[in-house]
A and B are shown apart, each in its own frame.
Chain A
Amino acid sequence: MARPLINVPVKVKRGETFEIKTLISHVMEPGYRFTTTGARLPRDIVTSFWCLYNGVEVFRADLSPAIAANPFVTFFTVATESGTLEFKWTGDNGFSETAVATIAVE
């Protein structure tokens, strides 16, 4: 599936707070569904998501099976300096995905 989608402004004024929107493709199988033959579909979810701003963690989320498929998470962070936003997702069955966005702070 295609890479995660990150929505960040291109430029922000120093000290201002800006919103980051993230979307990742993932089935988020809750582990409570059954097939018609009675077999349980095993849990397969993203469990952790975090954001590093120039290497410093500024946001972290612990996800549960109650998060809808294709997890969408938005949060805010303060524009401290220009640089790189790194996003990382990990989950069941060794799931791991990353995304990167740059931010220009003036």
Chain B
Amino acid sequence: MGERKPGATRRAVVIGGFFAATIATERAQATPEQMRAAIRNVVGNAPIRKGRVQLDVPPLVENGNTVSLVVAVDSAMTATEYVKTIHVFNERNPQPYVIAVHLGPRAGTARIATRIRLADSQTVTAIAEMSDGTFWSASADVVVTLAACVEGI
């Protein structure tokens, strides 16, 4: 599978497993505890340091169905020092995962963008897993309002 080490494959499978588990539950909204558990699932007991990660989300979204998300990590992305994975979590959607992207030296720049869904005003957290085994994080608070003019109840 190219650049990815076996450890990354295992984590990708773990995340897939968690997705399968959440479908079976009736819970409509995750909690900060679920998010912390999801983070522990990925990070284990390693400390999570603040810094090196920039998380760019609009503070007041136009619509929670489509919210721009940009994550950049401060790293030279060389063969010996690079970002392995960027994990993004949320605390109020029905399940805590947002996206996990697997990078490597071939990326050149550790910066990704996507569009996400946010069910409610909440904190979004991005955690970067580095090649040296360290974890770095950043969080952003987002306010999500409801559109008044919708399809119906």
Contacts and interface: CB of A to CB of B under 8 A. Distances in A.
Interface residues of B, number: 39
Main secondary structure of the interface of B (DSSP, over half): mixed
Contact of B107 (A31, A59, A73): A59
Given A30-B94, A68-B66, A47 B2 contact: no
Interface in A17-58: 17, 30-32, 43, 47, 52-53, 56-58
A5 B58 CA distance: 25
Interface string A71-106: 111111110100000000000000000000000000
A78 B107 contact: yes
Nearest to B112: A75
A4 interface: no
A33 to B, nearest CB: 10
Interface stretch (B43-51, B113-121, B128-136, B138-146): B113-121
Interface residues of A, number: 32
A59 B86 CA distance: 11
Contacts of A68: 65-67, 114-117
A66 interface: yes
Given A17-B108, A61-B101, A56 B3 contact: yes
Nearest to A18: B108
B109 A76 contact: yes
Nearest to A61: B101
Given A66-B95, A66-B116, A72-B113, 18 more contacts: A30-B94, A30-B117, A57-B3, A58-B107, A61-B112, A62-B16, A62-B102, A64-B97, A66-B99, A66-B117, A66-B118, A72-B114, A73-B114, A76-B107, A78-B106, A78-B107, A78-B108, A80-B106
Interface of B: 1-4, 12, 15-16, 19, 23, 28, 65-67, 90, 93-95, 97-118
